[in-house]
Amino acid sequence: MNRLRAALTAATLLAAGGAPARAQAVDSVAAERLAARRWFADAKFGLFIHWGVYSQLGAGEWVMHNRKIAVADYEWLATTFNPAKFDAVAWVALAQRAGVRYITITSRHHDGFSMFKTGATRYNIADWTPFRRDPLHELADACHAAGIKLFFYYSQLDWHHPDYWPRGGTAWNNGRPDQGDWSRYLAFMNAQLTELLTRYGDVGGIWFDGMWDKPDAPWQLDTTYGLIHRLQPGALVVPNHHQRPRPGEDVQTFEQDLPGANSAGFNTSYVSGDLPLETSLTMNGSWGFNITDKEFKSVRTLVGYLVRAAGNGANLLLNIGPRPDGTISPEFTARLDSLGAWLAVYGSAIYGTRRGPVSPRGWGATTRRGDTVFVHVLDWPDPLLPLPPLGARIRTAYVLRGRAVVPVVETAVGVTLALPPASADEPDRVIVVVTSGSPASNRSGR
Ligand code: JFZ
């Protein structure tokens, strides 16, 4: 039945001169969502925030599982959570300085503790802790004032809720009853998602995680995705399930990997041809605050990830793990400030681009906007850079920083650029190549 429908859609598109690969993007997806997907593909850079009760132990967001903490003990820990220095306006000011277009924050992680005021459980920051405030509400207000979109990370896996039953692959004997009502759990999640999509103004989307704990459970995704799209037609569903995208989903996200690379071992090598893409990345080795993890990536490495993500047509969702008092450690803020300073000069080669005519290489990557191709040279020792044909004649080429003309040799077999000298303060030499027409190898859509 689905296959018949797909075949008919493809046939219609072919008759109309369209490409069958784009069938999913145009197949019954509301105009608001298609526009939101384009906005997302233009955005290119987001800030991921992992913050919760676990931050207090300074050992990452999986500490409840890793240390086999009992539900009752973790519940006590939650009663002491009081991030008195939390300042949503300061967080958003940092995000703005960094040049991110959106923030994705943990509304509820696997520990099951809700970081927002909810009527679905008392186990939430406003009702369970001395803090009493709703930090997500404050963050939503600050984001809206600054023109930054807010996405909510939402865990489908829950190590606390009694109705998360039967339990999944990460379960341990933590004091929960050996019974539960799965349909009640689904109703609980849908009730919370309804709150998140009706009380916080315009939401960028929901970033789902944890389904992989019980991949074959009856998640009833159609119901949940339908609810989201009904409540906010422009909200995107971003699933971190490490599988091929399903109907109702809007973005394919890759964890700790560029699209298709799968060095982490749990991503899929399949890359969607029509959905926008995203790569989530830790700045050190941890998502939640980890007090001993000092393995911070250098600014040069982070610029490289942003550029290679863009060269793959993907956004970079770069993570910070704020401290339990609500402050953000200087290792994070310094790197975000440096990335913002870099984007202030080179942002035109990142924002609003799609992947370029030459797929990412060892030396770097290409992006493009309209007739302009940006050649990002990250690592190349020689004065000349040979490229395959760009698919359109070159009108002019120049160095983005300083605008010096770049000599170009164009032949039938390719293009050679004469590069400016590398310098220690420039992680990415960007050559702006203006062509006389949209390069043939461009894909539209994402
Ligand atoms: C998931 C979360 O578990 C993690 O805490 C963090 O929020 C990250 C962004 O997303 O990470 C995963 C998910 C699945 C696997 C590994 C890490 N897996 O299946 O091996």
The 10s digit of each residue's pLDDT in 85-109 is: 999 999 999 999 999 999 999 999 9
Atom of ligand 1 nearest to the CA of 287: 6
pTM of the model: 0.92
Quote the pLDDT of residue 438. Answer: 57
Amino acid at residue number 306: L
In this structure, what token pair is assigned to residue 171?
Answer: 């379960």
- 257-263 long-range CB contacts below 8 Å, 24 or more apart? 258/305, 258/308, 258/309, 258/312, 258/314, 258/360, 259/312, 259/313, 259/314, 260/312
CA distance 269 to 407: 38
Cα–ligand 1 centroid distance for 383 (angstroms): 42
Mutate to test the pocket of ligand 1, among 66, 209, 254 (most ligand atoms within 8 A of CB): 209
CB of 441 within 8 A of CB of 357? yes
Q: Ligand 1: distance of its center to the CA of 370 in Å? A: 36
Residue ranges lining ligand 1, Cβ < 6 Å: 61-62, 209, 212, 240, 255, 266, 280, 287
204 burial via Cβ count (<10 Å: 0-12, 13-18, 19+): buried
Question: Is there a contact between 123 and 364 (Cβ–Cβ < 8 Å)?
Answer: no
Ligand 1: which residue has its CA nearest to atom 16? 266
Per-residue pLDDT at 258 = 86
Bridge pairing between strands 354-355 and 364-369: antiparallel
CA 328 to centroid of ligand 1, rounded, Å: 22
- Give Cα separations from 98 to 67, 125, 132, 333, 407 (angstroms): 34, 28, 30, 9, 33
Going through 109-218 in order, the beta strands assigned E by DSSP cover 149-155, 205-209
3-state DSSP of 267-301: CCCCCCCCCCEEEEEECCCCCCCECCCCCCCCHHH
| CA of residue 268 to ligand 1 center, whole Å | 14
Q: What is the pLDDT of residue 255?
A: 87
Atom of ligand 1 nearest to the CA of 61: 5
pLDDT tens digits along 162-184:
999 999 999 999 999 999 999 99
Rounded distance from Cα 318 to ligand 1 centre (Å):
15
- Residues 256 and 240: their CA atoms lie apart, in Å, by 11
Question: What pLDDT shows up at residue 264?
Answer: 79
pLDDT by residue for the chain (446 residues), tens only, comes to 233 333 333 333 333 333 334 444 445 899 999 999 999 999 999 999 999 999 999 999 999 999 999 999 999 999 999 999 999 999 999 999 999 999 999 999 999 999 999 999 999 999 999 999 999 999 999 999 999 999 999 999 999 999 999 999 999 999 999 999 999 999 999 999 999 999 999 999 999 999 999 999 999 999 999 999 999 999 999 999 988 999 999 999 998 888 888 787 887 888 998 999 999 999 999 999 999 999 999 999 999 999 999 999 999 999 999 999 999 999 999 999 999 999 999 999 999 999 999 999 999 999 999 999 999 999 999 999 999 999 999 999 999 999 999 999 999 999 999 999 999 999 999 999 999 975 444 444 34
- Whether the bond into 166 is cis, omega within 30 of 0: yes
